[in-house]
Every structure is written in structure tokens, then in C-alpha cells.
Structure 1
């Protein structure tokens, strides 16, 4: 009798905690959806704590992919499950922005969430080839015994992520800043297609304002954030420039590339594959270095927009086939001039209406289950 009372009391307490968490997290989620999505419905499936425990073998360390990411099997499909601690508001922010961007092919798509835990647990599509850092950073490639990623694939990944950021900045009523771009925020599917993730710290620029005060940033801090905490889309441009340098070098090099010889800074694995590339590869590498350094100039007004960065990366990709003179293109783009007058609108002007509509419609569709 006494044991029965104890177990009933324990399970009732747990049920009460789960119900309270569900109510609090559900309120946060609804509030965020109303603010970010203009009250447009985005149905988000929910899962129970027990389903996610079973999916991950009780969140076993053997299923841990990287910080906060667990591999799992849920309802017959392989998924990634993100478990945070003590950051309920950040988890909700991540879920809502991911849901808004779920129509873009280079964003990790959310499947649902569990709201019954103090910090919501998020469920995403699988990324079979893991975290980009494990395929690029020389120390991690060696440790995990991966094959180094080739230059053509690195360049394509850079262009695809640039395109995803362009959409984030321009496809919604107010520009949204990612605020946390780096190797550990990009996952790879079975075909090495990159998937941008982790929108914890993302913020939107308020209507009628040119910038926003950001309370959090991670990994790369642009000079303007350190000085005033006021940021624009050019904060993401700065962080993307740092990402470009890391793709080139295989390590955290930041602005030490300024004035350096290509052979001194480029990942040896890239130079080792230079069988047929020759001068063509060297021009590509130099053009990417130039672009990265332009993205990371101290004055944000002198940085290009992500739309212009995406265009230039496309030109660099085509160089080997067309023989375009990349250095001339860099000059003609006037990347060192101010792009402020068309920063937030340039993708809408340059992308097709079908592309923009596809993302907007995707943000209103139910998430895949």
C-alpha cells in the first residue's frame, strides 16, 4: 500500500511538471510564431519525452553527434534530436526561424518538438554526413580519419550557404540575422549538401529601423558588435567571410590571410589535388581570399551584401569552365563601395518571383512528419 502511494505520487508529480512545461513552452512558442510569422499558421507536430528517450536509447553518448545533437530513430525514420539545457527561449527561437526557412534546400528542416520538458527538445531531419567542421578542420579530419574535402565541393558549399543567408536577409517582411555562422552550425546530408542550422541567437531588424541591438553572438564577433551591440545584415557577412577563410585554410585563420601567399595559407589538401587545375585553381583561390577579406573589412558599410557575395561565388565557380577574368569581375562589382541603399531589397529584385514565393509558401505549410 505504501509503495503504491509512493509510485502514484512520483508519477503524478512528473505529470504535473510535464504539463507545466508544456503550458509554458507552448505559450512561448505561440508568442514567437505570432511575432515572427505575422500570425500565419505553421503546424508543428509534438512528441512525448518517452518517444525521444526511446529514439535515442535514453540519450546515450553513443548517439551523440556533436554538442547538443543526438542521432535517433523516430517513427521509422532517422532523425537528429537537439537537446539543450536551460535555454527554453533560445530553443523556441531556433524552432520558429528553422520552420520559417524550411522551404530552403540548404536549411536543416525541423520535424517537430517536445514541449513537455523544461527546455523544449527539437527534432530535425537527418544529416548523414555529420558536421562540416569534421570534414574541414585539419585536426578534426585527422582525428576522425575522414578524407579531406576537395576544393570544388568546398566552393559549392560556400555558395549554397551564402544563398541561404541571402534568403534569410531578404525573403521575409523584416531582415533576419543568423548571428552564429560557423563550421559547427552547418551539417551535411548523404550527398554533402550543406544544411544551415542553429538559429538560437537569430534576430530580426524591427520595421523602420536600420539595425538591431543584439544581446548574443557566438564564435565570430564583428567589430561593430563589440563596439555597440548594434548590428545589421553586415554582421552575418563578416562571419561568412571568416567561414570562407576557414574553408580555404582548414583552420581558424581569421584575417591573417591579408597579404599572404596562397601557398602559405591554403589547406595542403587543396593544393595536393592541383593535378589539372593549375593557374585556374590558383585564380579561384585568390578570388575567394579577396572576397573573404572584403567581407571582413572593419567598416560594415564597405562590406558587400550576401546577395552580391552569392553572385561572386557563382562567378568563381564558373571560372574553370568559362575562363572569366575573376580579378576584373571583383573590380567591376565594386565590392568595396557601400551597398546600404539596396541591402535588404536586393534579393527580391534579383531573384525570381517563383523562388521568393516558394520560400514564403513553405513557411506556411505543415512541417513534414
Structure 2
């Protein structure tokens, strides 16, 4: 990538690189992703954006800012195309796909992904926390991700996590991003304040991260009911997990059943305990009760003490 910023690709170059956009490898709220290969043989992920406003110069300025965000756990942006109204981003290709493909496997899936062990899961959780902390606290430009979920966490060859789609909310109009009528994110991962006339802050990302952290531990979607004894209209995954860990003192009940047999309380208890306690702090209903992402990373590292969190509530529903 040139020292002055990201490379500006022509649309014809990207047609050639992607074989006329023939190999779709992903699709999300911001657009469709295709695999491509540049003239220098680098494999890339080419994202065709939708609903992006502003002129070419504005787009270039925003993309240049995003391209300067360098962190081990962020996907690298190599270039873009702004031609004839098109808005396309060119990223590094991350070989192992997204975290959801490893966490939520089912018999219908054709691919055989390995089951991630506890140490890899912890490394993924910590790497993602550090990446989001970088976006919130270390960038010259303050960046909200607005869509933290397993589909936006990619895994490299060594399962090094890389957060994708960061900064894309910046390419939208700022008033859109803050408007409750135009909510950002994915149902199931959105913080409660998105449903209220509150200003959206970095703590919305913290909440979404807390849900992902519980999913890393459990291997289940946070909106999948794991306990038949609970009425479906009363099901709230964080509250159920809190009771298992802090009331019943039985952390094994929330562990991914595929690797529960590998759980060794001597080797893994401290690590899993930190992950669950941290998740519960992230999932506090009130944004001001949640830690910053920088503090979240320290909690996972074990460099600061984690006091017992308050039980997460279903938004403003009162406790029984």
C-alpha cells in the first residue's frame, strides 16, 4: 500500500481481480463480499458497499482514515474504488473464515471446521477486545463499530482473530448512525439503548461484545434457548448463565458441549471465570455500568480484579 494512503483501484481492475465478481464469499448489512486476486498475486476480499452517501472526495477521505487504522486484530484495508457511483473496499483475505462457522456448527453444514479448544477461544476473545479498545481509545478518529458479532470476527491461519467491517458506520451520515429510526447492528447483538432515545456511545459495542464472549464460552447463539425448564418468553441467555455460574456455582452447565469433556477445573477455571464475569459486566443494562473496552481487555488478562457483577436484566424488566 502506498505511503500516502490506500490504493485507488479502477472498476475494471476489480472486475479482472474477481473474475467479474463471480466468487461470492460473504454478505452482510453493508454489502456483498467477493474473493479476488490482484496482479501482484495477493488474494483479497472485495466488498461492494450499498447505501453509502457522499461524493468521491468525501469517500476517499473517510477510507484513508480507516486504512490508517493498523492493529494485529483488525482486518487490513488495502484499497478502494469510487467510480461512477460505485463504492468498493479491498481488504486482505483472511483464510479461515468467520468465527460463527466454528462456534455454531450443525449437521447441515458441508464444511468440517475443527472445534476450537479453550486456549484458542480465550486468545480470540482477548484479541477482539484489544481491537475494539484500539478503535474506541487509541485511534485519532473515534470509531464505533456498531455491529460486533461472530460473523464480523475473521480467523487467520493460526486462529488469530481479525475484526472486520470496522469504520463502515463512519461512511454513513453521522446523523443516520445516531438516529434510533435507523438502528445499526444485528438483532440479537444490539444494546438496549438502541431501542431508547439515548445517545449511542462506545458502550453499545461493549454490550455486543459481552454477548459474543458468552457465545465463545457456550458455543451457542445467545438467542438459542438452552434450558427447557425456562418459559420461552422468559428466556434471557445472560441471566440464565449468571444463575448457573454465580448462584448454582456450576460453570460446566454453560460450556460448549462439544468440548465440555476437556474442561479441567485446575487448568481452565480461572480463564473461563474471567471470561464469564467480564461478559456479565459488559451486559449491564445501563451503559454507564459497563466497563470500557480497554478495561475489558485488562479484566480478561487478569491484570485487574473483577468483582462479582450485578445480574443482567432484560432491559428494564424488574427482577422476580
Same fold (TM over 0.5): yes
Could you tell me how far 1:141 is from its partner in structure 2?
9.2
Q: Could you say what secondary structure the match of 1:330 adopts?
A: coil
Distance change >3 Å, CA 77–CA 104, structure 1 → 2: same
Residue matched to 1:330: 306
Output aligned runs, 1:101-120, within 5 Å. 101=69, 103-120=70-87
TM-score calculated relative to the size of structure 1: 0.66
Does 2:15 match 1:53? yes
**Larger Cα Rg: Structure 1 or Structure 2?**
1
Could you tell me how far 1:268 is from its partner in structure 2?
1.4
Does 2:191 match 1:222? yes
Residue matched to 1:65: 25
1:79-135 deviation line (CA, Å, top 9, x unaligned): 11112334356x94983553131x211111111111114331111112111112112
Cα distance in 2 for partners of 1:305, 1:85 equals 31
Kept after mapping to 1: 8 A contact 2:211/2:283:
yes
Q: Could you say what secondary structure the match of 2:9 adopts?
A: coil
Kept after mapping to 1: 8 A contact 2:183/2:194:
no
Cα distance in 2 for partners of 1:140, 1:161 equals 28
1:309-348 deviation line (CA, Å, top 9, x unaligned): 10111128xxxxxxxxx9xx312xx877xxxxxxxxxxxx
Kept after mapping to 1: 8 A contact 2:53/2:171:
no
Kept after mapping to 2: 8 A contact 1:135/1:141:
no
Cα distance in 2 for partners of 1:80, 1:87 equals 19
Q: Could you say what secondary structure the match of 1:65 adopts?
A: strand
Distance change >3 Å, CA 298–CA 203, structure 1 → 2: farther
Instruction: Give the number of aligned pairs.
Output: 272
Residue matched to 2:204: 235
Q: Could you say what secondary structure the match of 1:201 adopts?
A: helix
Does 2:221 match 1:252? yes
Distance change >3 Å, CA 203–CA 281, structure 1 → 2: farther
Cα distance in 1 for partners of 2:148, 2:289 equals 20
RMSD: 2.9
Given candidates 287, 297, 309, the residue that maps to 2:274 is 287
Cα distance in 2 for partners of 1:64, 1:262 equals 40
Kept after mapping to 2: 8 A contact 1:72/1:79:
yes
Output aligned runs, 1:129-278, within 5 Å. 129-139=96-106, 142-173=109-140, 175-199=142-166, 200-202=168-170, 213-214=178-179, 215-219=182-186, 220-253=189-222, 254-255=237-238, 256-260=240-244, 261-274=250-263, 277-278=264-265
Distance change >3 Å, CA 55–CA 272, structure 1 → 2: farther
Residue matched to 2:225: none
Does 2:275 match 1:299? no
Cα distance in 2 for partners of 1:272, 1:94 equals 48
Distance change >3 Å, CA 335–CA 144, structure 1 → 2: same
Does 2:46 match 1:84? no
Q: Which has the higher contact order (CA 8 A, sep 6+)?
A: 1
* Higher helix proportion: 1
